[in-house]
Amino acid sequence: MSIKTLAWVVALACLVPAGPALAGSPLELTCSSNLTVAATSSNGAVVLFTCSASGGCKPPPFLSAFPPSGSLFPVGTTTVTVIAGDSCGASNQCSFEVTVRRTPLSVYCSSNLTAMATSSNGAVVFFTCSASGGCDPPPYLYANPPSGTLFPLGTTTVTTTASDSCGSVTNCSFDVTVVRPPLTVNCSSNLTVMGTSSNGAVVYFTCSASGGCDPPPYLSANPPSGTLFPLGTTTVTATASDSCGSITNCSFDVTVALPPLSVNCPSNLTVMATSSNGAVVFFTCSASGGCAPPPSLFANPPSGSLFPLGTTTVTTTASDPCGSITNCSFNVTVALPPLNVTCSSNLTVTTTSTNGAVVYFTCTASGGCAPPPYLMADPPSGSLFPLGTTTVTATASDPCGSITNCSFNVTVVLSGPPLSVRFRPLTSLLEVAWAEQDLPPGPPTNGPAFGLESLAAAGLIGSPGWGAFTNGPLRQINNTFLAKNLLGAGAFYRLNSGVTNPGFIPSAATLAATLVNTNSATLNGTATPVFDNTLYWFEYGSDLSYGLATLTNTLSASTNPTSLSATITGLEPLAAYHFQLVVSDPDGVQYGSDQSFTAKGLPPVAVTLRAAYDIPCEDCAEEVVLNGTVNGNISLIAGYFQYGLTTNYTAQTPQFYGQANSTTQSFSSTLPITALLSNTTYHYRIVAFNLYGEAVGEDVTFVSPQ
């Protein structure tokens, strides 16, 4: 027994009572339950615990534990004895065990790792392992091979060992696998290109490769990019390899096709004949595509040929060295140009000669084939026209057989005042009537007046002929006498049952129409109302039955001729009309001669349409096509396109020609790209005209190709 133990025994012996305890509460003692703790070093562990005592006399009782709480307990099991005593000599004891155990030594490995080789030698791999527990922590930790080592290709097992100062050892292991990185090659998608010659085409493409060890990998293509590929389909194989010996490949097809052969014809053409043989016509056709461009182009008949009257079909054929052939066709119509003749207006000339007068006038003709046309007037200008009215007809013709004419009147009158006849009142037919006349300028020949013999004696009653009198002729028609002199003028006298009231029928002359337009015209004439107020109007219509009439107007009594006119509307374009002047007074109705005219036609209507690009291949254009429509309103038309950088325009295309009908006709003109500035905005419009006016389409723009 050690001295310390002996001391405890002695101390305990002193606490044992010598005799019975004094009366009081019992001495109670409570020990800790058994304890198990982990060693904190190889010496063990300091352990803290709690015991309690109560009761006894003069509490609290005395309490001691051996070993006491807070002692260093060695590794293993130690019994702790607890004794309680009080001043009365009572005592009690209990015990419990404290077990100190070493902490288990633990090691933790990484999970299995897979790394990509960075070279043919493998890859440097980093990992983490850990250890805990054991005595004197932290424990010692070692990995073989250690983290950061160059691991070769394949699988390497890493063993990690943990140990402590108490001699405990433990380990774990995991695998590190170094694999070659995947080698990838990417091919172009299948390509289709157009052959540039009969040998094929040079084709460029892009392939790529990635991955493998020691990147970048080696890449080759067979055939390589930039090779001349023949017509047809060629398979290209692209192969990638690396320094680790990995190889992979992919493939794609390159197809070299013949570019489509295309030919472009102009729209149908209408031109005017320049002779009876027709007209020389120029046009432009184009072709593109095919192998070994430009293709061969042939037109039949060729541009610049003499095209006959009528419609000729032109067939244009394009071919290339590879044997491709295509064609298109269009019509060339050579029309007779309109033949026009313009007559002089109606002429009135005066003369002092009873034979008439030499009259000069001017008529013109235009158009027709092989201008100027042949023009003839009947009677011709410079002829001797007799007294009265003569109709002149002017006829124009051309070598193509076209004929047209117009007419006008030449009226020759004697100079001097008209005859003024004044009759003396009569009471019976047997009385002698007297008439006085105003003679023409110059000395009178038979005096200022002439007398009428007895009508019965003169044999004029009922006679339709003229009677020869000393101073002038006299004629009786029904109940009316007419006296006239050499001037050709006259006046009427009507017998009313023996009443001598003088009456005079007015005269009427229809003159040519003026201000003839599309739907209106002015009708003209002259009338002499003589001694009564006179009503007048114009009758008109599409034929000699007329059917229409202007409003009736009143002309005051006068012995002087008065010019009359009336404007009519609602006419049909290009329609022919007849008309005459009608005058009426209480003595009768007088009709002027028939006249005719043709209403003018309408000017054309022009519309500018969007331009089109003649695109023979995917990324190029050779021409810009200007488009428009024209309605000629039943007249032959011609026109052109104006174009330029602004709306002032600066250039125009060759003229086009159209048929005489009421339909809308389409026209186009082509501008070669070589004649335009690249990528520039141009303005253009269509301009058309016929015999009756001009029409201009709205402004439209296009941007020339780059």
**543 lies in some domain:** yes
* Same domain membership, residue 95 and residue 13: yes
Residue environment code for 292-310, b if the CB has 16+ CB neighbours within 10 A, otherwise e: ebebeeebeeeeebebebe
Q: Are 580 and 594 in contact (CB under 8 A)?
A: yes
* Same domain membership, residue 487 and residue 449: yes
* Same domain membership, residue 198 and residue 165: no
Q: What is the pLDDT of residue 422?
A: 37
Confidence band of 429 (pLDDT split at 50, 70, 90): very low
Tokens of 91: 């005592």
pLDDT > 70? residue 4? no
Which residue, of 63, 80, 101, is where some domain finishes? Answer: 101
CA dist list (Å): 221 to 187, 225, 624? 9, 7, 43
Give the β-pairing of 247-257 and 191-194.
Answer: parallel
Q: Look at the chain and report how many structural domains it folds into.
A: 8
Which residue's structure tokens are 């102009």? 266
**565 lies in some domain:** yes
Give the separation between CA 498 and CA 429, rounded to whole angstroms: 8
pLDDT > 80? residue 193? yes
Task: Express as a percent the part of the chain with pLDDT over 70.
Answer: 82
Which residue, of 43, 72, 101, is where some domain finishes? Answer: 101
Bigger pLDDT: 479 or 610? 610
Bigger pLDDT: 13 or 325? 325
* Same domain membership, residue 236 and residue 202: yes
pLDDT > 60? residue 160? yes
Whichever domain contains 136, its CATH number is 2.60.40
Cα–Cα nearest to 348, from 405, 394, 414 = 414
CA dist list (Å): 687 to 485, 639, 645? 62, 5, 17
* Same domain membership, residue 270 and residue 238: no
**502 lies in some domain:** no
Report the chain's C-alpha Rg in angstroms.
68
* Same domain membership, residue 661 and residue 645: yes
Which residue's structure tokens are 């099991």? 77
Cα–Cα nearest to 683, from 638, 649, 635, 706 = 649
Confidence band of 9 (pLDDT split at 50, 70, 90): very low
Give the separation between CA 189 and CA 208, rounded to whole angstroms: 12
Which 3 state secondary structure label does DSSP give 10?
Answer: helix
pLDDT > 90? residue 447? no
**Alpha helices, H only, 445-566:** 455-458
Q: What is the pLDDT of residue 505?
A: 65
**pTM as predicted:** 0.33
- Can you tell me the mean pLDDT for 90-96? 93
The residue type of 154 is: G
Tokens of 144: 């073989």
pLDDT > 70? residue 452? no
Give the separation between CA 212 and CA 214, rounded to whole angstroms: 7
- Check whether the bond before 74 is cis (ω within 30° of 0): no
The residue type of 210 is: S
Which residue, of 308, 335, 362, is where some domain finishes? Answer: 335
**527 lies in some domain:** yes
Give the separation between CA 641 and CA 646, rounded to whole angstroms: 14
Q: What is the pLDDT of residue 458?
A: 36
**Region class of 189: left (phi > 0), else alpha (psi between -120 and 50), else beta:** beta
Most confident region among 17-21, 148-152, 243-247, 458-462 by mean pLDDT: 148-152
- Can you tell me the mean pLDDT for 499-507? 51
Residue environment code for 514-551, b if the CB has 16+ CB neighbours within 10 A, otherwise e: eeeebeebebbbbbbbbebebbbbbbbeeeeebeeebe
Which 3 state secondary structure label does DSSP give 619?
Answer: coil
Give the separation between CA 523 and CA 552, rounded to whole angstroms: 14
Q: Please state which of the ranges 50-64, 214-228, 393-407, 484-498 shows the lowest mean pLDDT.
A: 484-498
CA dist list (Å): 264 to 139, 195, 314, 624? 94, 21, 12, 12
Which residues are 684's β-sheet partners? Answer: 643, 700
Within the chain, what is the greatest distance between any pair of CA atoms? 223
* Same domain membership, residue 575 and residue 547: yes
Give me the domain span that covers residue 437.
422-494
Which 3 state secondary structure label does DSSP give 4?
Answer: helix
Which residue's structure tokens are 């060629």? 234
Give the separation between CA 396 and CA 339, rounded to whole angstroms: 7
CA dist list (Å): 155 to 122, 158, 176, 212? 11, 10, 6, 18
Residue 560 phi, psi dihedral angles, 5° rounding: -100, 140
Give the separation between CA 260 and CA 291, rounded to whole angstroms: 9
Cα–Cα nearest to 52, from 35, 36, 69 = 69
Q: Are 673 and 621 in contact (CB under 8 A)?
A: yes
Which 3 state secondary structure label does DSSP give 335?
Answer: strand
* Same domain membership, residue 203 and residue 151: no
State the DSSP H helix or E strand holding residue 54, giving kind and residue range, or none if neither: strand 52-54
Question: 371-418: per-residue pLDDT in tens?
Answer: 788 888 999 999 999 988 999 999 988 877 788 999 999 998 866 443
**501 lies in some domain:** no
**369 lies in some domain:** yes
**635 lies in some domain:** yes
* Same domain membership, residue 188 and residue 140: no
Tokens of 19: 């005799």
For 443-490, give the DSSP string: --SS-SEEE---HHHHT-TT--SEEP-SS--EEEETTEEEEE-TT--E
**500 lies in some domain:** no
* Same domain membership, residue 410 and residue 375: yes
Bigger pLDDT: 656 or 5? 656
Which 3 state secondary structure label does DSSP give 457?
Answer: helix
State the DSSP H helix or E strand holding residue 394, giving kind and residue range, or none if neither: strand 388-397
Give the separation between CA 203 and CA 259, rounded to whole angstroms: 15
Neighbours of 493 (CB within 10 A): 22
Q: What is the pLDDT of residue 474?
A: 41
Which residues are 78's β-sheet partners? Answer: 98
State the DSSP H helix or E strand holding residue 13, giving kind and residue range, or none if neither: helix 3-15
Average pLDDT value for the chain: 80
CA angle 203, 205, 208 (to 5 degrees): 160
Whichever domain contains 681, its CATH number is 2.60.40.10
pLDDT > 50? residue 432? no
* Same domain membership, residue 610 and residue 592: no
Question: 672-695: per-residue pLDDT in tens?
Answer: 888 888 889 999 999 998 888 889
CA dist list (Å): 285 to 54, 263, 299, 450? 130, 7, 8, 89
Give the separation between CA 357 and CA 263, rounded to whole angstroms: 69
240 Cβ partners below 8 Å, 6+ apart? 183, 184, 185, 209, 212, 217, 218, 219, 247, 248, 249
* Same domain membership, residue 588 and residue 524: yes
Question: 302-329: per-residue pLDDT in tens?
Answer: 999 999 988 999 999 998 887 889 999 9
Bigger pLDDT: 620 or 278? 278
Question: 121-146: per-residue pLDDT in tens?
Answer: 889 999 999 998 887 778 999 999 99
- Can you tell me the mean pLDDT for 245-261? 90
For 251-302, give the DSSP string: EEEEEEEPPPPEEEPPPPEEEE-SBTTBEEE----EEE-SSSSSPEEEEESP
